[in-house]
Amino acid sequence: MAKKPQKPASNDITQTTGNAGETHQRAGGQAEYLTTDQGIPIADNQNSLKIGERGPVLLEDFVLREKITNFDHERIPERVVHARGFGAHGYFQPNKSHAKLTRAALFQDPSVRTPVFVRFSTVAGSEGSPDLARDVRGFAVKFYTQEGNWDLVGNNIPVFFIQDAIKFPDLIHAVKPEPDRGFPQAASAHDTFWDFASLTPESTHMLMWAMSDRAIPRSYRMMEGFGVHTFRMINAKGAVTLVKFHWRPKLGTVSLIWDEAVKVNGADIDFHRRDLWEAIQNGDYPEWELSVQAFTEEQAARFDFDVLDPTKIIPEEVVPLTPLGTMVLDRTVDNFFAETEQVAFCPANIVPGIDFSNDPLLQGRLFSYLDTQLSRLGGPNFHELPINAAKCPVRNQQRDGHMRTTLQPGRIAYEPNSLDPAQARESVERGFVSFPAAEAGDKMRIRPEAFADHYSQARQFYKSLLPHEQRHIAGAFAFELGKCEVIAVRTRMLGRLMLVDRELAENVASALGMEGMADKLKPAVPAKDLQPSPALSQYAKAAKSIEGRKLAVLVTDGADDKLLASIRKAAKAEGAMVVVVAPKVGGFKTAGGDRMPADFALNAAPSCLFDAVVVAPSEAGVEMLLKTAAAVDWVRDAFGHLKAIAYTEAAGPLLAAAGVEPEADVGVVPLKGRDGLQKWITAAKGHRLWDREPMVR
């Protein structure tokens, strides 16, 4: 007897493109129904076809495949997403054997280094967009292991906007430049994105992260990475552990503030690229620790969320991180196009000892990435490009195809065969074997009810942040929504924020001049007040350090030789770089009569490019700087961007012209006596003077 069609779960929208419990009536009556490119009516455009609520996505889902295939081929040859990227080579080395966790070869021997290639990227912008757009950052790592290539393709944020890959084309279409006008570029601050986001309650948690400082990192070297999805690790005995992947930078996780990022984009569109290139060229090799949150199926069943939901995290207080080893980037590319542009990542590239989960977003990515590479790189043999080629033996019966370069002799191009006993055969002992997970259930387009809580973790994230981080989120929402022309989009998003935190929503509404105008929305699952997780704050866990930072000294003719030497020595001891900024790039003459080169001319090096500054002109030189707007702005912006400022007595008039009172706070330090320089370094180690912020903004 035939079964009745499955009704959507209560957390699915049937009236709009939203996804979980909250409904919004369409304006203007009944809309025309959606169809495939073949004209077949679509019953559900929100969910992939799965076996049961939590089962794997089926290959027969022609709606998903058609939609993503079309999307993957929209841009040739530029990547549809993650077009703006920069890469480097390095290695991964385990800290010990992790044989109890996984049989994967790269985690067995702490003396073995596995080569890697890493590509960092922004998501929304084109290849020519600025580095410091407010955006998610891609964090993709290709491991060239002894058992083949493993691609861990993640982001610098541990959650995502959507729960099911079938919505990915809609998300990206919404955030990309609006198709009738071709702008804005590399920006989410426009109507189509916020219309989609406000109608997609599952995006709420990700929006909190995207509006936080995480979306404007100081450097790729100071950025966390996450695998986002739940994966499986399997050891030699077949025992399974569920894991979430984390990358932690040695230099800590820090960001810029919005006004600073805007000015950096104007001064140096390649700020992140240049920073990584210079660090590696100078021998300051960036490092990250790879860790996992490891847990069992039984533990996962006790969580108050579903580990297959990519919009959820597992707080580190619930499942602590287990370090696996260290990744070091020690070599820049030789050719940007051949390596950074032609590298092809695919989450389906895994090695024995690692396996997938049924996360519906991951399941769609397993198809999408391979499909898009076929178009972008011209055919099925992109794996033969040097940057993509495995560094272990490759033996199979694949032949021919566009741009095939491997010359394979002999008459045998099939398997099994009896004509060539030396041909490679399957290996039960060494080969990849999928975990034999038992799956049962009806074929259906549906989300589990466990995916329906969209606000508890969004609230937890906000409550876990320090006050200045919370202020920045409110400011970001106000800026972004202030760019939206459609009032209904703003009021709907304010209603969404009310479900996260009333104070946040009211602060955003006040900044917009829209007090009391938030839509009243009913969540499918009301937000719970979860315990704050200090690990979610960048700065609550940040080490006091200036290692890897760039410090600037503003000088003129007559600058103090000894002071410059002392600054360089003190910075070097802390692992920081010092650059000299002078009125002209040709250099300056010191008080001792020496001619010294400048690293930058003043008009080409605003203070937003540096992490902390010293203002050290001579008495004669400061008179000239007072007549230079760039010099006044240099000091004013350093103060406004909350940076530590050291100054000589001669610099006093310049500080006054910039509106900076001497010793305005502990971050404005006179270079008097033996401890002045050390006080400045101590202040700079806090990254920013957050207590100053309410005074300047």
Whether 82 is catalytic: yes
Could you read off the pLDDT of 503-537 as tens digits, one per residue?
A: 999 999 999 999 999 999 999 999 999 999 999 99
Domains of the chain: 69-384 (2.40.180.10), 459-536 (1.20.1370.20), 550-696 (3.40.50.880)
Could you read off the pLDDT of 100-117 as tens digits, one per residue?
A: 999 999 999 999 999 999
Please report, as a single letter, which amino acid is at residue 285.
Answer: Y
CA dihedral (184, 265, 694, 553) in degrees, to 10, reads 180
Q: For all residues of the chain together, what is the average pLDDT?
A: 93
Distance, in Å, from the CA atom of 634 to the CA atom of 615, rounded to the nearest integer, reads 9
**Helical ranges in 433-551 per DSSP H:** 456-463, 467-482, 487-500, 502-512
Q: Would strands 443-445 and 49-51 be described as parallel, antiparallel, or unpaired?
A: antiparallel
Angle, to 10 degrees, between the axis of helix 168-175 and the axis of helix 360-376? Answer: 60
With cut-offs at 50, 70 and 90, classify the pLDDT of residue 31. Answer: low
Residue 28's pLDDT is 46
For residue 590, the SS3 value is strand
Token reading at 153: 């393709």
Token reading at 108: 């067995």
Residue 24's pLDDT is 45
With cut-offs at 50, 70 and 90, classify the pLDDT of residue 75. Answer: low
With cut-offs at 50, 70 and 90, classify the pLDDT of residue 67. Answer: confident
Q: Would strands 240-249 and 443-445 be described as parallel, antiparallel, or unpaired?
A: unpaired
Residue 7's pLDDT is 42
Q: Which of 11, 47, 149, 155 is catalytic?
A: 155
Q: What pTM was computed for the model?
A: 0.91
For residue 398, the SS3 value is coil
Q: How does DSSP classify residue 348?
A: T
Q: Identify whether the C-beta of residue 209 lies closer than 8 Å to the C-beta of residue 224.
A: no
Distance, in Å, from the CA atom of 115 to the CA atom of 611, rounded to the nearest integer, reads 32
- What Rg value do the Cα atoms of the chain yield, rounded? 27
Q: Which of 19, 82, 149, 190 is catalytic?
A: 82
Whether 402 is catalytic: no
**Among the listed residues 556, 602, 608, 546, the one whose alpha carbon sits nearest the alpha carbon of residue 578:** 546
Please report, as a single letter, which amino acid is at residue 653.
Answer: P
Could you read off the pLDDT of 107-159 as tens digits, one per residue?
A: 999 999 999 999 999 999 999 999 999 999 999 999 999 999 999 999 999 99
CA dihedral (562, 563, 564, 568) in degrees, to 10, reads 100
Distance, in Å, from the CA atom of 635 to the CA atom of 643, rounded to the nearest integer, reads 10
Neighbouring CB atoms inside 10 A of 393's CB total 8
User: At residue 461, does pLDDT exceed 90?
Assistant: yes
CA dihedral (643, 647, 653, 655) in degrees, to 10, reads 10
User: At residue 74, does pLDDT exceed 90?
Assistant: no
Distance, in Å, from the CA atom of 388 to the CA atom of 369, rounded to the nearest integer, reads 14
Could you read off the pLDDT of 282-330 as tens digits, one per residue?
A: 999 999 999 999 999 999 999 999 999 999 999 999 999 999 999 999 9
User: At residue 2, does pLDDT exceed 90?
Assistant: no
User: What residues does 319 pair with on adjacent strands?
Assistant: none
